[in-house]
Amino acid sequence: DAGVIQSPRHEVTEMGQEVTLRCKPISGHNSLFWYRQTMMRGLELLIYFNNNVPIDDSGMPEDRFSAKMPNASFSTLKIQPSEPRDSAVYFCASRPTGVNEKLFFGSGTQLSVL
């Protein structure tokens, strides 16, 4: 089992540029989550999907952020245009079917917006 795979591991970009973060959940998991981690705000849930359908995006900061899950094995989180305050570690996590099942996190993408 390869676990949750995120790419890239590190991303450095300039303000105003588009950033796309990618995630491959564990095969068979039907729920996928995007979290953002900063020193100031800790781990924040941005959005989550069940069976590829967005269920709750209330944590998405603003319209500059968008997330898609075109199929069960792939999801993207896009920021356009990026701003320095978006600098953070972004985690993708997946979970199998069931209530309160264990959440498996990827290794994260360290994003720096200059």
Residues of this chain that bind other proteins (CB under 8 A): 4, 42-43, 45, 48, 55-56, 91, 93, 99-100, 102-103, 105-108
Closest distance between other proteins and the C-beta of residue 40, in Å?
10
Residues 44 and 27: their CA atoms lie apart, in Å, by 24
Closest distance between other proteins and the C-beta of residue 36, in Å?
11
Nearer of residues 83 and 101 to other proteins, judged by Cβ:
101
Kindly report the backbone phi and psi dihedral angles of residue 102, in degrees, each rounded to the nearest multiple of 5, phi listed first. -55, 135
Closest distance between other proteins and the C-beta of residue 51, in Å?
13
| Strands (E) located in 1-114 | 5-7, 10-13, 19-24, 31-38, 42-50, 53-56, 65-71, 74-79, 88-95, 104-105, 109-113
Nearer of residues 81 and 103 to other proteins, judged by Cβ:
103
